[in-house]
Amino acid sequence: MTDDDLGFIRHEFSLALFRYNPQKGYVYILAGDDLEVIVTSSGEWRFIYESEI
């Protein structure tokens, strides 16, 4: 069984920026040209969309 059989799509992105904010307790990740993710201290994560900026 492969990842494709499970419905996963595999993508590779270059890590452009990684920043930890100790005051707010989150990690900001910029990968590729436009993939932005926030990871909280509890392990939850979400994408940041251009419309939020």
pLDDT digits (tens, 9 = 90+) for 1-53: 455 555 556 667 788 888 999 999 999 999 887 889 999 999 999 998 866 65
Contacts of 41 (CB under 8 A, 6+ apart): 25, 26
The tokens for 3 are 């990842």
- Residue 40: closest CA among 19, 20, 25, 50: 25
Calculated CA dihedral for residues 33, 43, 41, 30, nearest 10 degrees: 0
Q: What is the pLDDT of residue 40?
A: 93
Q: What is the pLDDT of residue 1?
A: 46
Q: What is the pLDDT of residue 51?
A: 62
C-alpha span between 23 and 13 (Å, rounded): 28
Q: What is the pLDDT of residue 52?
A: 62
Q: What is the pLDDT of residue 31?
A: 86
Q: What is the pLDDT of residue 34?
A: 81
